[in-house]
Amino acid sequence: MVVLDPFGGVGSTAKAAAVTGRKSISIELQKHWNELAIERLETEVAPGDSSKHTFINDDSREALLKFEPESVDFVITSPPYWSILNKKADHKVKQERLANDLATNYSDSDPKDLANIADYSTFLKVLASDFIVPSARALKSGKYLCMIVSDFRNKSKFVSFHSDLIQELDNANTEDGATLALQGVKVLLQNHKSLLPYGYPFAYVENIHHQYILIFRKVAKP
Ligand SMILES: C[S@@+](CC[C@H](N)C(=O)[O-])C[C@H]1O[C@@H](n2cnc3c(N)ncnc32)[C@H](O)[C@@H]1O
């Protein structure tokens, strides 16, 4: 089976495919993350393993146009959660990452980086039309496309990213005579995180300690 991840990052999908006997195709805009993904397979799976997989260092918008329709068996991806890593207001995440000497964004100002789209509704539409629909076009009919996403806060506003994405993608036309149909939603619990008393005692401000796996199927139109 061939597994496609259009936001390959440091290769979690590639590693999972490698250890379960599948082949993966990762597309990642940033050279640094793409190289780390290759290095990860070499060190965490086996020397030489990265050559069994495909790593494309490019804008997925461009790369996905070159895929044959119905050529992959599974799509799984975790897109940027809008510009949330770039937000100065997100003190806790940013400070934790700075303290651990981790990158606080995926790229500084690359206009091709999806996370750098300033307006949330434009971001949602571009994510669906330029990345997920073309990935679904590359998927075989009857097969599945999964997205791992989290809700988030933008200043004081809670943004239900997972449900906004479902609204954008359920019944979306894949432009090859099929549609994406939502099959279910799994919650991925992140129980290792500490609870913090945000807002207490004045307001309820949620701790976000879970992510969602949105499961879609490519179904032929009746
Ligand atoms: C949430 S991360 C993916 C994490 C990934 N699952 C991993 O194992 O590291 C999103 C990734 O999308 C990449 N990205 C953003 N815009 C992109 C684009 N236009 N084409 C390809 N990759 C892009 C970012 O550089 C970032 O590495």
Q: Give pLDDT tens digits for 148-188.
A: 999 999 988 999 999 999 999 999 999 899 999 999 999 99
Checking if the pLDDT of 22 tops 80, the result is yes
Q: How far is the CA of 56 from the centre of ligand 1 (A)?
A: 12
- To the question of pTM greater than 0.85 for the whole model, the response is yes
Contact by Cβ (8 Å): 114, 131: yes
Checking if the pLDDT of 90 tops 60, the result is no
Q: Is the CB of 130 under 6 A from ligand 1?
A: no
Atom of ligand 1 lying closest to residue 60 CA: 20
Q: Is the CB of 113 under 6 A from ligand 1?
A: yes
Q: Write the CB contacts of 196 (distance below 8 Å, at least 6 apart in sequence).
A: 92, 207
Contact by Cβ (8 Å): 180, 170: yes
Q: How far is the CA of 105 from the centre of ligand 1 (A)?
A: 11
Instruction: Tell me which DSSP letter residue 68 carries.
Output: P
In the predicted model, what is the mean pLDDT of residues 23-49? Answer: 98
In the predicted model, what is the mean pLDDT of residues 30-59? Answer: 98
In the predicted model, what is the mean pLDDT of residues 96-102? Answer: 71
Q: Write the CB contacts of 64 (distance below 8 Å, at least 6 apart in sequence).
A: 6, 27, 131, 134, 135, 137, 138
Q: How far is the CA of 173 from the centre of ligand 1 (A)?
A: 24
Checking if the pLDDT of 16 tops 80, the result is yes
Q: Is the CB of 7 under 6 A from ligand 1?
A: yes
Residue 6 has which token pair? 């259009």
